[in-house]
Structure 1
């Protein structure tokens, strides 16, 4: 295989011109041909081919080649052509054109071909010598073939001369020529995508294509589509190698310009890039031609000149001293800032630059960080903030940026984030009080390790007034979620007062009382006090979050939901991903309590996006997984619930409140799967953990009633009654109607006598509460009991109510149970009746859900809240449904929906 012939692929026209020039010498016809193009486009190969053709015809061939190292050597190329015998010094006796007369004289006897490669590197004396030769060519059997990279010329293209000059500009190889090259080098044709990739990666550059294909073939690869990634990698390396060779011998101004282009050529026009050079070149056009002649550059947008890829840029910069490179990036960033380049590009320059010491740099890096966060590129956001901290900053600015960075590091480097939080906590000075409180708040929202807790304890003795109150509240809040008898920090921190005035301590104290199930009214008042606005202390996240959770346990679910919405809006304004995930999870749990499994699904999915499952702190991960399990169960996705329950526990969860949540959720999965023995073990284990922490409130985790249910299924009726009555006593002590109602439901499930009476009492209590999930569960149990007793007339309105509650979520577990009970009553299950009009099938899923809710008596605003849409959307969907169903309004829709459900329209 003749690899040396590769650069001549696609050069048929050029070879024909050169062949005519060589053939004309035999008839004493002179010729001048120039070959120009980017370096590596085949100029030298064509000159060698023409020289070989002339030698085969018996013609004399003289060769010369310009080099970067000889641009200052007078008559360097002339010496190669006529030899050192002639005196070629500028002041020699031979005059300004040494050896020229002798060359012309001897050519009369033997026609001569001169090939001069790399004319762009000729010294001025050699160039003038060749120009003098061209002027004397008429009548002389001499042909001059000159090759150059870039627009180098033997004579002025615009000036008339004694002999026409044939100028050939070499172009990149087209797709067909690349395919021919692939077949030649690889020993066979390449597949279509492979050949297209070769053309794209090399941009039709013959020398790069040749070397890349040779390396590819030498490695034993075949030109098939599956090898495209390997071909691209090899081509990138070859391109970089060509760049390294092209840099050798370049004059210093050209090297400096290439380095500047490597840094910012993609961003700035070439004249602006030249302002980075010291000294600035006088002839920018000439410098541009020199750079284009290297074959390393390509035209960009407008007047820009750029390097082709990251590998080439890296090679151009790699031999530059680190300090000079960092300085070049800094000057380029400042120039880009003045040129109003976008923040992301300026930040990219600053990431490799020395500190510039100007405010605009920090602003640009922070804006680039925000853009990266919006694009979910957290690694780049962290890099921008890390670089911003290298700039000169005052203490408050540095603390604020460190807080943002530590909050971002929760996924990429959580331990580094904890150490950063700890450093802020130990930073002295009253001006950093707000930063210290915020650091403790965000660190504990992530979970906080011993480094953070120790730093928090160290900060307390020197804290003042409101800061001390806030840090004390946060410390004890962190302790509430764990139990460690060996902790040596507890005696150093003062206990919370019984009736604190501090907003942060009010929220934490409310949560403490709620966990213990003590004094509901005081708990509610303290929880509301957590939202009193008292500066930085009142803006802390965790005390307000646990205050919201306390309000959930006091049955103030609507208020808690509004407060959580506010908290979520706050945390989403910053980079606190762990905090956002925690708030979303709490809101998901609240939505479950309200019977809104759709909203709960939305929130737990958003929490997973904010902080993927594997990045939760071990103290919070079990709680988050428990909520996801409960959402999956309530939504009817038992397979998802089982897979989540089967995941291994985090190491630190065994003795924490969050661990109890997870055990409880696993117990419910076991009950749903018909494994009561395992369920009892899991639920009692959850109870032991909570009892160890002294958290007795059944409104938090009703483990006793659920364990009683499993015991009842096993026939352990005495134990079931003991557990259910214990829960009822604790619920009555707490006093929240939903907790009492749920406990009554537990008793009704466990007792043999008075079962129906207990269930009716549970329904009565729960009907007046916002705990829709518990109310739905109680209705299901009561309908089952009434049907078991044969009281169908009493069960009918209860089934109607149950269907109304579950109609919006037909795939949920309660909806499935409701349909089964409707079938027992002798009525068709939801949306499966044979009396459904054919037009109902024409409704979209959204229209069907909206029409069902409207037909069951919900107003437009309630429907909008249920489906998380606007009231205008509800109106449009109903209008579409009326049109498709050919009905006039809500009255007919109500009759239609009720008839499909098997209900008389008078049943309310």
Structure 2
């Protein structure tokens, strides 16, 4: 084996061999940590000695044979060892000689410390003399590996041999491994007094040395790049570095990575495990204690307590692990090192280790989170202080938005808690912790907790939580008492934060379950006076649903979000504020805020938060005319939280999936979601409105106008009953008008369209654009063109590309009927392009059927359009390209970081240079090439 960074030591040992050959007896002790290359160096010395004509004899001491007298001597005498045939047996032993006359190991095995009388000592002295005589015939090298494990009889003989080193060509090379105890102090003392002794301490490898170890396995190009990481994991231990090299042989690079990758795999784990199991048992116990304390910063007494060793043993063991490169700053270097230390450790043994760790950390006053980690891992039999520690740890995890960590703490506390009142409070905490992981997990305790609340066994402070959770699952009867207690708590509580939460919760429930929880009707703009941001978020949503969009509502919702951070007590109010922006027709702002909170939820890895914000973002994407994106987001929401766990709130993601697939023309997929069983109570919640509206559009698209009309009308009935009849929430009259038109009810269709336009207000919002479009569809033909001309720029500004595409196509048809084929072609072509950009091929194909056959430009026209782009400056080309892709001036302004006025100025110049009159002409002029 090629030795790395051992040249100096090998030179020293070679010099020793040469001196021995000249008749100078020599002895060397090689020390170093486990796996630092002592045995490999010993083998290299043996090879050098053979090159110089030496006879080399080797023996390895082992812990298993430490109590076997003469175990090492027996290895040296086997197979033609150094003991001569004429050696007489020690007195009092039953000598057995083989056919060659050599003493057998059986003879030596019968010698023990109790037999070291004068006769045995004389025999061992004669053995030493015999070795010396053999060395004078042929230079002799004795290599003894792991002398710290040498049996007593062999050690006695070795000491005699070292004391008698003279001018005979005899060399001894010993190795001692750094363990939890050193070799026998008599050996060290004897070596120190010998002038011919050469102590050699093997250091761990440098980063450059590790690179040399890696090179034969991963190549000279990759080795330097991996060396630093490999050194950090292995600590420069040659054995561990070589194991990492083997693991990384085939995994250093792959087709998906451009950077090299160090693999910490089975070879490394085996090397660590083998190193620890070759040492003293106490060393393994110390390593296992460090493994279970890995998440802590253990003090030395804590390690000793968990390992169940004395402080002196602990100190030597830590030093041995440090020497082997397994420790860094008192901790095991790598998770794989900790895992390897625990290999072979039974579940019961691990539980004992964790129980000791919990006890010691509790005595030290460590934080409850650290103590609870070990209590959970210990499993059974905690001390009386364990339940309070587990509860405190769970509360801290929940406060830090770590529900997955809080859950096992609460479950462990429940297993050992014997107080009925405390068990109820623990179950309430567990229901809250598991709720955000999967609402179904916490549901099993809800009825019991509701009964306890009603009977007074559970404090009213839990009414907020129970009301929300019971209503979510449609358990309206059980929720009634909890809802009533929220109002009483709001009036009685003196804590302003708790009172604010109660008001915010009641407001939220009143607009989410308006058929069950009565709510107030504050005057428009009243929400600005609310102080707590949670209350402001809920009140903003309530205001926009009951009074329609307003600028003050928008400001209040955004201010509320700026004052909050995503957490256990805020995520519901953040969804309220985002929804308020959405229903105020501030789609771009709602999308920006929702993207922010969705990224935060994903970073926290809380499934319910991710699912709720994904579903909300899907609804926003639908209003942006991005059905493909909406479908992906809604599918992700259902992947995070299964359908059965959504309760009545399933109406949200289902509505998004039905509408998205309908817009994409995938009616089979939409039909599958229509067939999903609905929970009882869905249509007592606001989510039922979304579902009815989406299903109605699916029925319209699949030529079922009667079923569609029923859904739209039922949606309207609920909205009027709940005093939330705002077109910006659900424009049900648009769908109902189209259904009436399909059934021949033109008069009723026109009346609904007119009413929706009146309710949508004068602001140039998406809702108004939709209302104008539907009025054009059901109104008089003479008014159709003017209505669509008004709708098109509004829908373009709103960002809803699906609605914008539909309005363009319908306006194109009005021009076609009026004989203006060129204008019609231009408008319909742009509508097709928008549908393609929306990744809605069915819609694009349907609109493309309206294009005249002569629509495709000739090659000469295409070349002329391309050359005309050379007239544009780089800034003008960027603006033209984004405009041709369908972005509004405001969106282009945001993308390019310029003002809207600058965008308009660039567009004016673009139109003049390219000779076009409308935004839709830019794609025909080849502006996308810029």
The 10-residue stretch of structure 1 (695-704 or 456-465) with the greater mean CA deviation from structure 2: 456-465
Within the alignment, does 1:684 sit opposite 2:724 as a pair?
Answer: no
Pairing 1:477-516 to 2, within 5 Å after superposition: none
Q: Confirm or deny: 8 A CA contact 2:355 2:374 kept in the other structure.
A: no
Say if 1:76 and 1:123, in contact at 8 Å, map to a contact too. yes
> Pick from 101, 110, 116: which aligns with 2:144?
116
Secondary structure (helix, strand or coil) at the match of 1:620 reads helix
Tell me if 1:438 matches 2:465.
Answer: yes
CA contact (8 A) 1:32 1:164 kept: yes
Of 128, 139, 163 in structure 1, the residue corresponding to residue 167 of structure 2 is: 139
Structure 1 residue 417: deviation in Å?
2.4
Shift of 1:409: 3.3
- The aligned counterpart of 2:441 is 416
Query: Are positions 1:169 and 2:169 aligned together?
Result: no
**Residues 566-616 of structure 1: per-residue CA shift (max 9 Å, x gap):** 776788543369836853673464154779786598589777574542126
Q: Secondary structure at the match of 1:161?
A: coil
SS across alignment from 1:146 = strand
CA contact (8 A) 2:554 2:581 kept: no
Determine if the alignment matches structure 1 residue 456 to structure 2 residue 484: no
Please report the TM-score for the alignment, with normalisation by the length of structure 1: 0.62
Question: Does the C-alpha gap of structure 1 residues 372 and 23 become closer, same or farther in structure 2, counting only changes over 3 Å?
Answer: farther
> Match of 2:545?
550
Which residue number corresponds to residue 823 of structure 1?
A: none
Cα deviation digits, residues 808-838 of structure 1 (max 9, x gap): xx9999xx9xxxxxxxxxxxxxxx9999996
Counterpart in the other structure of 2:603: none
Given candidates 261, 281, 302, the residue that maps to 2:311 is 281
**Residue pair 1:40, 1:205 contacting (<8 A) in 2 also:** yes
Contact preservation (8 Å) 1:267, 1:336: no
Aligned to 1:3: none
3-state secondary structure, aligned to 1:110: helix
| Of 111, 118, 132, the match for 1:94 | 118
| 1:65 matched residue in structure 2 | 61
Matched residue, 2:677 = 651
Aligned to 2:24: 29
1:239: which partner in 2? 271
Name the structure 2 match of 1:579: 572
Q: Distance in 2 between matches of 1:304 and 1:580?
A: 44
Tell me: CA distance 1:46–1:777, structure 2 relative to 1, closer, same or farther (3 Å).
closer
State how far apart, in whole Å, the 2-side matches of 1:702 and 1:891 are.
36
Aligned to 1:115, the other structure's residue is in SS state strand
Query: Are the equivalent residues in 2 in contact too, given 1:10–1:177 (CA < 8 A)?
Result: no
Conserved 8 A contact 2:358-2:375: yes
For residue 288 of structure 1, report the CA deviation from its aligned partner: 3.2
CA contact (8 A) 1:442 1:579 kept: no
Q: CA deviation at 1:661?
A: 2.8
Offset at residue 312 of structure 1 (A): 1.4
Normalising by structure 2, report the TM-score. 0.61
How many Å separate the matches in 1 of 2:421 and 2:773? 55
C-alpha separation in 2, matches of 1:505 and 1:318: 52
Aligned pairs for 1:301-340 within 5 A: 301=329, 309-315=337-343, 317-318=345-346, 321-331=349-359, 333-334=361-362
The corresponding residue for 2:131 is 107
Aligned equivalents of 1:448 and 1:358: distance in 2?
30
Matched residue, 1:798: none
> Per-residue deviation at 1:32?
1.0
1:766-785 equivalences under 5 Å are none
Contact 1:372 1:380 in 2 (8 A): no
Q: 1:257 corresponds to which residue?
A: 286
Aligned residues of 1:333 and 1:346 also touching (Cα < 8 A): yes
| 2:326–2:333 contact (8 Å) kept in structure 1 | yes
Q: Distance in 2 between matches of 1:600 and 1:162?
A: 79
Q: Is the 8 A contact 1:466 1:502 kept in 2?
A: no
The structural deviation recorded for 1:65 is: 1.6
Equivalence for 2:34: 39
Q: What is the aligned partner in structure 1 of residue 778 from structure 2?
A: 750
Asked if residue 590 in structure 1 is aligned to residue 583 in structure 2, the reply is yes
* Equivalent residues of 1:655, 1:689 under 8 A apart: no
Provide, for residues 136-192 of structure 1, a one-character-per-residue CA deviation record: whole Å limited to 9, x for no partner: 31224432221221285743699553313252637668555556589xxxxxx9997
Deviation at 1:281, TM superposition (A): 1.3
Q: Indicate how the Cα distance of structure 1 residues 145 and 735 shifts in structure 2: closer, same or farther if over 3 A, else same.
A: closer
- The SS at the match of 1:574 is coil
The superposition leaves residues 782-825 of structure 1 with CA deviations (integer Å, 9 ceiling, x where unpaired) of 98899799899xx9xxxxxxx9xxx9xx9999xx9xxxxxxxxx
Corresponding residue for residue 619 of structure 1: 648
Matched position secondary structure for 2:118: coil
**Any idea what the Cα deviations from partners look like across 1:859-885, whole Å, max 9, x if unmatched?**
xxxx7xx99989xx877x979x8xxxx
Contact 1:202 1:209 in 2 (8 A): yes
The answer on whether the counterparts of 1:594 and 1:772 sit within 8 Å (CA) in structure 2 is: yes
Instruction: Give the conservation status (yes or no) of the 8 Å contact 2:659–2:694.
Output: yes
Aligned residues: 785
Query: Which digits, 9 at most, give the CA deviation of each residue in 1:182-237, with x for residues without a partner?
Result: 9xxxxxx99979997997887786767899999999xxx99996999998543255
Cα 1:298–1:147 shift into 2, 3 Å: same
1:736 & 1:843 partners in 2: Cα distance? 36
The separation in 2 between residues aligned to 1:236 and 1:178, in whole angstroms, is 13
Shift of 1:30: 1.6
Deviation string, structure 1 residues 374-429 (Cα, Å, up to 9, x no partner): xxxx7456557767888989999988886675455346433112234445434343
Q: What SS class does the counterpart of residue 171 from structure 2 fall into?
A: strand
User: More deviation in 759-768 or 231-240?
Assistant: 759-768
Partner residue of 2:188 out of 138, 155, 158: 155
Residues 719 and 209 (structure 1), Cα distance of their counterparts in 2 relative to 1, 3 Å cut: same
Contact 2:773–2:791 at 8 Å: present in 1 too?
Answer: no
> 1:849 and 1:394, CA in 2 relative to 1: closer, same or farther beyond 3 A?
farther
- Whole-Å separation in 2 of the counterparts to 1:597 and 1:526: 24
Q: For the structure 1 residues 170 and 147, does the alpha-carbon distance in structure 2 shift closer, same or farther, using more than 3 Å as the test?
A: farther
Note closer, same or farther for the CA distance 1:19–1:760 as it changes in structure 2 (3 Å cut). closer
Compute the displacement of 1:300 (Å).
Answer: 0.4
1:705–1:308 Cα change, 3 Å: closer
Greater Cα shift, 740-749 or 134-143: 740-749
C-alpha contact (below 8 Å) 1:684/1:707 kept by paired residues: yes
| Cα drift, residue 119 of structure 1 | 1.8
Secondary structure class of the residue paired with 1:321: helix
SS at match of 1:33: strand
Structure 2 stretches lacking a partner, 5+ long: 77-89, 91-106, 494-501, 600-609, 615-635, 824-829, 845-864, 919-930
Compute the displacement of 1:118 (Å).
Answer: 1.4
1:842 — aligned with what? 875
